Structure 1
Amino acid sequence: MSFQQGLSGLNGASKQLETIGNNIANANTVGFKAATTEFADVYANSLSGTSGLGTAGIGTRVSTIAQQFSQGNVTASNNALDMAINGGGFFRLTNGGAVSYARNGQFQLDKNGYIVSPSGGHLTGYGVDSKGKVATGSPTDLQITTADLPPKQTTEIDGQLNLDARVTPIDPTVTPFNASDPTTYHNGTSATVYDTQGNPHVVQTYYVKTAADKWDVYADCATAQSVNPPVPPATTPPAGFVASVTFDFSGQIKTVAPSPSPITLTLPATNGATSPFSFNLNLTGSTQFGSTFSVNSLSQDGYASGRLSGFGIGNDGIITGRYTNGKTSTLGQVVLANFRNPNGLQPLGNNQWAETAGSGEALVGTPDSGSLGLIQSSATEDSNVDMTAELVNMITAQRVFQANAQTIKTQDQILQTLVNLR
Structure 2
Amino acid sequence: MTAVIRLPDATGQLREYQPRAVPAELAPAGEPFTSRIVFSAAHVVADPFADTNPDGPAAVDWDTTLAFRRHLWAHGLGVAEAMDTAQRGMGLDWAGAAELIRRAGAEARATGGRIACGVGTDQLTGPVGLAEVRAAYEEQLAVVEETGAQAILMASRALAAAARGPEDYLEIYGHLLRQATEPVILHWLGPMFDPALTGYWGSEDLDAATDTFLDIIAAHPDKVDGVKVSLLDAQREIKLRRRLPRGVRCYTGDDFNYPELIAGDEQGFSHALLGIFDPLGPLAAAAVRTLDTGDTAGFRALLDPTVELSRHLFQAPTRFYKTGVVLLAWLAGHQDHFTMVGGLQSARSLPHLARAYELADGLGLFPDPELARTRMARLLAINGVDQ
Shorter-normalised TM-score: what interval?
A: under 0.3
- Which structure has more helix as a fraction of its residues? 2
Q: Higher RCO, 1 or 2 (CA under 8 Å, sep at least 6)?
A: 1
Taking structure 1 as the reference length, what is the TM-score of the superposition?
Answer: 0.18
- Which structure has more strand as a fraction of its residues? 1
